[in-house]
Structure 1
Amino acid sequence: MNVVIDWLAFFKVLGAALVGATVVVGFYALGLRMLVRSGRAPVVTPAEFTDAITVISEKEARRATKAAAKAARKSPLTDAQKKLALVAAFACFAVCVLAVLGGIGIIVFAGR
C-alpha cells in the first residue's frame, strides 16, 4: 500500500483555515470594540456553574452594569459618531457571519 500526500492541497487548506480564522476573530474583536465605542457595552449576567468556575456575585454584576452605563454617558463621541460606530459594529458582525456561512457552503457544496 502506497500513501501519497498532495502537499500543495494540504498547504492550500492550511492557508485557507488560517486566513478564515484570522478574519472571523479579527472582525469579531473589531465589532465588539465598535459596539463599546457606540456606548452599548455588552454586560453578561452571571450564570450558575459548577464549583470549578467562579461566577461574579449579583453585587458585582450591578457594579459592572453601573460602570458600563457611566462610561457610556462620559463618551466624548457625538450621537452621529456613536451611530456610525454601531453601524460599523454590525457590519463587522455581518462579515463574521458571511465568513462562517461561506466556509459551511464550501464544505457542503464543494464535495459534489
Structure 2
Amino acid sequence: MTVQDESATATTHGATLTDAAAAKAKALLEQEGRDDLSLRIAVQPGGCAGLRYNLFFDDRALDGDLTADFGGVTLTVDRMSAPYIQGASIDFVDTIEKQGFTIDNPNATGSCACGDSFN
C-alpha cells in the first residue's frame, strides 16, 4: 500500500497558455520592464450571454489563487473562476483578420453574436 502526500500533488487551474500566447505575454512584460506581474484570467458576470472573460496583468496575489507557469509567464486564476476555465486554452493570434488573445473554452456552451461573452 502506498500513501500519497497531498502536499506533493499540486492543484492547478487546468487552463493552458499556448507557446504563442506565452511568448506574446512575455514580450509585453519585457516591454514594460516588469517581471513581477502574472497574467490573470478571471470570469465575471456580464455581457449578453451571462459571463465575460477578463484577461490582464496583475501584481496581486489573492487568497486561493491557482497558478501555473508557461514559458516564464505565470498564469493566475482566482478560485471562483477556476471551474469555468478548466481545460481552456489561451492563444495569441496575429493575422490580417484578427490580432489578440483568444480563449478556446470547452466549458462554454454558447456565446453571444458579438463573441464578447459566453455561457
Q: TM-score range by the shorter chain?
A: under 0.3
Larger RCO (alpha carbons 8 Å, 6+ apart): 1
Bigger share in strand: 2
Q: Which has the larger radius of gyration?
A: 1
Bigger share in helix: 1
TM-score (norm 1): 0.20
